Structure 1
Amino acid sequence: MKITLRQLEIFAAIAHGENVSRAAEALAMSQSAASSALVELERQFDCPLFDRIGKSLRLNSTGRGLLPQAHDLLARAANIEGYLAGGILGPLAVGATLTIGNYLATLVAAEYLRRHPASKIGLHVANTERIVEQVVGSELDIGLIEGEANHPDLLLEPWLDDALVVFCAPHHALATAGMADDATLIEQQWIVRERGSGTRALFDRVIARSLPALRIQLELEHTEAIKRAVESGLGVGCLSRLSLREAFRRGSLIEIKTPQFDLNRRFYFARHRQRQISPAAQTFLALCREATGTARGTDTLQLPFIS
């Protein structure tokens, strides 16, 4: 066999950093050795994998096709090493959108490490758009996202039902109304998530499209920041019910009923269509289902191992 795992490892590192020096540093090797390995890989098959643009290396179409296969093979090799070392699961890179990451994925990751203390897991939290990019780019093994995403290389599996909720502070004028019609909602100042998030996409598709005169006062990237701004009386918000459960229970925020809008959605597991799912990823996904009760065919949030 001409190709080696080390060559693929160096290729993948260069692809992610788009720079030989950064890849060499990440792999604890010299820049010249990393550069030579890449040149040799391309020479062996007479097949360039990158476009050279100044000091940057950008994957060409061949390189983009190779990257998920390289990650798949490297992950399998890591799993073999773990098996030979005593059944240790291979390293796992998980991405989660902000709502899922802040209120579910961190707890699942903690339980994963409790059950498999010798394993390694990396959890990256960002908005839906970024997580999808990283799954498609093979930077992540699996993604936990809000709402659907369309990409030919993306494989989605339904996980958990969710819904967005409109809410306000206890001292807000709408707190005692219980329900708000369109005319009332148009008059409000809104504090919402940034564009690119699954929450904002559903908000725009359902509420903003129905109320074109809607006044958006603030766009924030973090759910907790939105909750604090609404608590202080700056306006009304719209977030996942999952992120608001504790605030509703404490009474620090109040739900505003909006039956005129269908704000239901789903959380999904996302992975690259061309990559085989690893034992580590399978174990993590099973833990996600266990945490939320979906392993038993329900869609209610039960969190059996989370206090």
Structure 2
Amino acid sequence: MIADPLKIFVTVVEHKNFSRAAEELYLSQPSVSLQIRNLENELGTKLINRSPKHLELTQSGEIFYGYAKNILLLYDKAKEEIDQLSNVVTGGLKVGASNTIGEYILPFVLTEFAAQFPNVGIETSISNTEEISQAIRANYLDLALVEGDVNPADFVIHPLIEDEIILVVPNQHPLARVPIVTADHLQDQVWILRESGSGTRAFSDKLIKDRGIHVQKSYVIGSGQAVKQAVIAGLGIALVSSWIVRKELNARELTAIRIKGKRLTRFFSLIKSKNHEQSKAMEVFTEQLLTHELLTSADK
């Protein structure tokens, strides 16, 4: 395929690593290295300066990278337009998701989409909201599903569903016996928090600040799954998405308690870059997502 050497080069540059690029492309590292050398020989210039621990583009490499990205986009667009003549949706789709959505919602959406459009190649990236948003800005991802707030000046945003944030505590915790807690109840507690950049962490920080809550001690844990297990084990209390503790609440492995005042909610949203051209695969994925039963019928 005419685009293969260019895709290999772009993947190496974006991963800044030959091994990770080879893994993503299902190639051996020697094959990737050979393709880069062939490109350099064909162009008569060095594109990448590399050492065992470092990789950076030469000036020629910077120029070639920009053109290679554009050529790949044009190649995909041409292929899609040709495929549309027979009403076949093809091409690639790079989907990102923040952790909660990536673990509890995206797999079901992708399974249905892949069954309906088997000719679309799908790559996923799951991280916290801040890192996924940065990847959209850089056009490393076509679209993403995130929790919490993002800057509307940077993205096209489609709100998907309201997510309720709930306070969970160990079953043996004194607060587990309090039907409705106030800010006074939450003073000097041990909190389990997500890492900075997480939408849930931003929500927790804002609530703690707005309610004037003094935190006795906090533990930072990098996934929602680990946070809820830490609560079950008795490490502390935490604010979490109701999506991630449904099974545990039904099994009575931990306790959800209400904080006095309005329900704590946020939105899960679909975001895209304002300057990223929409492919047919992006269009149909967006349509399917906005009407997916899991999101439209969820009792939130």
The TM-score range, normalised by the shorter chain, is 0.7 to 0.9
Alignment partners' CA distance in 1, 2:113 and 2:58: 34
2:92 corresponds to 1:91: yes
State the Cα deviation string for residues 183-219 of structure 1 (Å, max 9, x = none). 2111321112111101101111222453352134321
Superposition deviation, residue 62 in structure 1: 7.7
Q: 1:287 corresponds to which residue?
A: 288
Distance 1:65 1:209, change over 3 A: farther
TM-score normalized with structure 1 length:
0.77
- The code of the aligned residue for 1:180 comes to V
Separation (CA, whole Å) in 2 of partners of 1:123 and 1:222: 17
Q: Distance in 2 between matches of 1:231 and 1:288?
A: 33
Residue 301 in 1 paired to residue 298 in 2?
yes
Please state if 1:33 is matched with 2:38.
yes
| In 2: Cα distance, 1:67 partner to 1:181 partner | 57
Deviation at 1:16, TM superposition (A): 0.8
Asked whether 1:13 is paired with 2:11, we answer yes
Inter-CA distance 250–81: structure 2 relative to 1 (3 Å threshold) = farther
Number of the residue aligned with 1:57: 56
- Rounded to whole Å, the distance in 2 between the matches of 1:165 and 1:272 is 31
Partner of 2:220: 219
**1:62 to 1:239, Cα distance in 2 relative to 1, 3 A:** farther
Structure-2-length-normalised TM-score:
0.79
Residue type matched to 2:230 in 1? A
Letter in structure 2 aligned against 1:32:
R
Identical amino acids, percent of aligned pairs: 26
Q: Does residue 118 of structure 2 align to residue 121 of structure 1? A: no
Gaps of 5+ in 2: none
Aligned residues: 288
Correspondence list, 1:1-307, <5 A: 9=7, 12-18=10-16, 26=25, 28=31, 30=34, 31-36=36-41, 56-57=55-56, 72-80=73-81, 82-83=83-84, 87-150=88-151, 153-211=154-212, 213-260=214-261, 263-292=264-293, 301=298
Counterpart Cα distance in 2 of 1:106 and 1:212: 36
Give me the whole-angstrom Cα distance separating, in 1, the residues matched to 2:65 and 2:185: 50
Q: Retained in 1: the 8 A contact 2:157–2:270?
A: yes
Distance 2:42 2:272 in 1: 29
Aligned in 2, Cα 1:59/1:165: closer, same or farther, shift over 3 Å? farther
Displacement of 1:37 after TM fit?
6.0
Report SS of the residue matched to 1:33: helix
**1:146–1:159 CA distance, 2 compared to 1 (3 A):** same
Q: Distance in 2 between matches of 1:91 and 1:134?
A: 16
What RMSD, in angstroms, separates the aligned Cα atoms of the two structures?
A: 3.6
* Contact 1:7/1:37 (8 A) holds in 2: no
CA contact (8 A) 1:168 1:254 kept: yes
Q: Is the contact between residue 92 and residue 141 of structure 1 (CA under 8 Å) also seen in structure 2?
A: yes
Name the SS of the counterpart of 1:131 in structure 2: helix
